[in-house]
Chain A
Amino acid sequence: MVENSFDKIANIDEALSQINDGATIMFGGFGGIGSPPTIIEGMINKNVQNLTLIGNDTGFPNIGIGKLVSRGHASKLIVSHIGSNPVAGQLMTEGKLQIEFSPQGTLAERIRAGGVGLGGVLIDVGIDNDIVSNGKEKIVVDGKEYLLELPLTADVSIVYAKKSDPFGNLIFDKSARNMNPLVAMAGKYTIAEVEEIVPLSELDPEQIITPGIYVDMIVQSKGVNWKWVWE
């Protein structure tokens, strides 16, 4: 048993008590890979409603955050892509789901900006595109025009990592890292679901990707409970 030195290691019910109706939830994951399965399942069982979800994409209808979206738990999304989840598109068309699209790299920087205390970022991606540039302030620096993209934060961030120590220092696994380190920083309260909790000092400080300062709660993952799209 790993010593709970910082009182951050908790069970799934304690984690879910932080996630309530109407909350803004930021999630890690890309096509479902690197999204926290146990927390998502818990949110469905708790039947939280009217969520604003911020993250890369809507996964697939039964994979990743897509499970919450396709079951109607969200009322608004800020994402870069919903193409792999036709249910999300259908809900949007029916007016049941409001969606704000950001180019993927811009979304990553907006989340990062929220996580590191910046007031915004200047990006020229999509500046010629009416849909992307609509309503955004333009700022000229050194003769070059940029869009002012605003930072994003969330009431609760949920991330998935390979290992955590009791302080919440995290390491990730391969491409399951994706948005997770950025999302971890941008939550007012961050819950990390991890494959393994190891004792303090077991993680090499040189290899830690997310320092534990950003993690408020650690829960043990029960593992992925969905079938991957390629299976």
Chain B
Amino acid sequence: MGLGIDVRNRIARRAAQEIKNGMIVNLGIGIPSLVPNHLSEKLHVMIHAENGVLGIGPSPMKKNEDANLCNAAGYPVTIIKGSSYFDSSIAFGMIRRGYIDITILGSLQVSESGDLANWIVPGKRIPGMGGAMELAQKAKKVIVLMNHLDKSGNSKIVKTCTLPLTSKGCVDLIITDMAVIKVENDGLYLIEVMSPYTTKDVINNTNVELKLSDSISKIY
């Protein structure tokens, strides 16, 4: 069950609100790659890619692609003023050392305690972890963008992940097509609901107890 582009953009737009001036941000593939489209031009943000670029800009116009200038998914990008290139060991040195303010990635499951499972489905798909473990374990803030439900209609937010973990207790914020949920030490807090869903819809479609924050705002 894919999400329509409007819904995907709404999730990306909400994620973009987390990004503040001066931040270093790493984006995963899929919905996270739409986030830059929703950043204010006034913000000075350096987008980091683990294939060795700091300062990624918008996608190039057709025919202006440069095969030697791509993001970590292998798709062409441009660079912004002040950008730099480096090799893979430096790209990951930046991550391990904690210089990434926010990493925004997709996930298969997220647990009540913020465990992230996004790298293998045993017996089905074993893509390998790529750079996901470094990013999940070392970024200052980990934001997960995903469908609220999986293809069979099950909640992807679970008490305990049944899929192999990428990293324990690393997720700070979950943004889905239904809700924005904050991971705190004492559990998950529902802070925003995406229209047309209601708080009750979100609770009914989440396999874990959600604590309700004082004022739950609606996203249109």
Contact = CB atoms under 8 A, between A and B. Distances in A.
Given A125-B137, A230-B75, A108 B67 contact: no
Q: Specify the main secondary structure of chain A where it touches its partner.
A: mixed
Given A33-B51, A108-B88, A178-B88, A103 B129 contact: yes
A105 B91 CA distance: 8
Given A33-B70, A175-B53, A81 B130 contact: yes
B74 A31 contact: yes
Given A104-B50, A128-B167, A177-B85, A34 B128 contact: no
Contact-size category for A: 35 or more
The residue among A104, A126, A181 with the most chain B CB atoms within 10 A of its own CB is A104
Contacts of A228: 65, 67, 74, 76
A19 interface: no
Interface string A220-231: 000010001110
A125 B51 contact: no
Given A81-B128, A84-B74, A89-B127, A104 B88 contact: yes
Nearest to A56: B88
Q: Specify the main secondary structure of chain B where it touches its partner.
A: loop
B129 A81 contact: yes
A103 B85 contact: no
B197 interface: no
B93 to A, nearest CB: 8
Given A92-B126, A101-B129, A30 B89 contact: no
B92 A177 contact: no
Interface string A154-179: 00000000100000000011111111
B68 A104 contact: no
B92 A108 contact: yes
Contacts of B75: 229-230
B86 A177 contact: yes
Contacts of B67: 33, 176, 224, 228
Interface string A165-200: 000000011111111111000000000000000000
Contacts of A128: 165, 167-168
Interface in B27-52: 49-52
B96 interface: yes
Contact of A230 (B65, B125, B167): B65
A34 B76 CA distance: 13
B52 to A, nearest CB: 5
A57 B130 contact: yes
B55 to A, nearest CB: 11
Nearest to A93: B126
A201 interface: no
16 contacts: A32-B74, A81-B130, A82-B128, A83-B127, A105-B89, A108-B89, A112-B89, A125-B133, A125-B134, A125-B137, A125-B138, A162-B68, A174-B68, A176-B67, A182-B88, A224-B67
Given A105-B131, A108-B92, A125-B96, 6 more contacts: A80-B129, A104-B50, A105-B91, A126-B129, A180-B87, A228-B74
Interface of B: 49-53, 65-76, 85-89, 91-93, 95-96, 125-131, 133-134, 137-138, 164-168
Interface of A: 30-34, 56-57, 60, 63, 79-84, 89, 92, 99, 101, 103-106, 108-109, 111-112, 123-126, 128-132, 162, 172-182, 209, 224, 228-230
Closest 7 CB pairs of A and B: A105-B92, A83-B127, A31-B74, A81-B130, A176-B68, A104-B131, A108-B88
